[in-house]
Structure 1
């Protein structure tokens, strides 16, 4: 079965021309997913879009969420990427989670949310503590709105406390990051394939 992944880069930098450590971590996962025959079709720089505040699937004229929502739901796996700020996930990531709240009421005839049968993993980077807390925030929220979280679902890197080196500036990807990325991709691809062939019951 052919599987597709979409990456959401929730960096605070809206300009795709600005280098992002989140992009660098997503690239590590992209390679790992390619080894599992999963195609990463696109990385969306969320801050470049006008994602309006709210908890519905369309907050009116100019809202870019409906198009991004359709893109998300057209994929089997979402890579939810973002930096750690103040020990937690970025405000951009929280905005995406808030908009997914609408999934709770947008169910099919069997009572399943539109995100049922889809898998979510995380790519977290930062130069401060918070990788575990950030992934916990993401996974609880995503699970609440119907996403399935595989075993070993986060690939992260945290630099030295109060340091100045970013993940994107490393000369080589740390061995444990590469190893973890392979586990994340392998488990996510396996689970997405199972859910594609055998959906959740209503």
Structure 2
């Protein structure tokens, strides 16, 4: 089984990503279940705005799109900025919009029988709103969202220290991330055994 983590940090490598630190909790728990995980920091790639899979020369989204189709599990990891997902996360969702009309060999949307979850960090409040926005979009695209397929860390309302600068809430975020990984793996395993069929024809 394979998983891909799309880290939607605004920071390019090799800058430290708080979001990656929490995502790594989920990565480790997935790897303990023999899941092969690839992490992509989206901002390191040229991903222009758009709602199609391939915008032509210089567009690196098709490579990321291929990784999505090669994985049964997707984790979108995003920081919180002014109570919303990062602009990179929004761009990812917009580019994934094209997947709604892409079909597999059995006439199903290509995201069917794949599961997805969300990791959120931020020294401000708003994590549940961000989770709802991202998970709702992924469900629209066709992903199955297991129960409690998310984890987050924040300091509550207002500014504060970053994730690595405090131990506040780390135990809860870690245990929730491990539960997230277990639920993603369990539902992906169930879908592999009993796939969701193509939608009924309207004709």
Kept in 1, the 8 Å contact 2:124–2:160? The answer is no
* 1:26 corresponding residue in structure 2: 23
* 1:49 corresponding residue in structure 2: 45
Aligned residues: 198
When normalised by structure 2's length, the TM-score is 0.92
**1:122-152 C-alpha deviation (Å, 9 max, x unpaired):** 1100011110000000011101111110010
Deviates more, 1:108-117 or 1:24-33: 108-117
Partners of 2:166 and 2:21 in 1: how far apart?
Answer: 10
Partners of 2:156 and 2:49 in 1: how far apart?
Answer: 34
Aligned Cα root-mean-square deviation (Å): 1.5
* 2:4 corresponding residue in structure 1: 6
- 1:34 CA drift (Å): 2.4
With over 3 angstroms needed to count, the CA separation of the structure-2 counterparts of 1:108 and 1:39, relative to structure 1, is: closer
> SS in structure 2 opposite 1:161?
coil
Partners of 2:160 and 2:177 in 1: how far apart?
Answer: 24
> SS in structure 1 opposite 2:9?
coil
Unaligned 5+ runs, structure 2 = 199-203
- 1:160 CA drift (Å): 4.1
Partners of 1:170 and 1:37 in 2: how far apart?
Answer: 31
* 1:35 corresponding residue in structure 2: 32
Kept in 1, the 8 Å contact 2:18–2:164? The answer is yes
- 1:99 CA drift (Å): 0.7
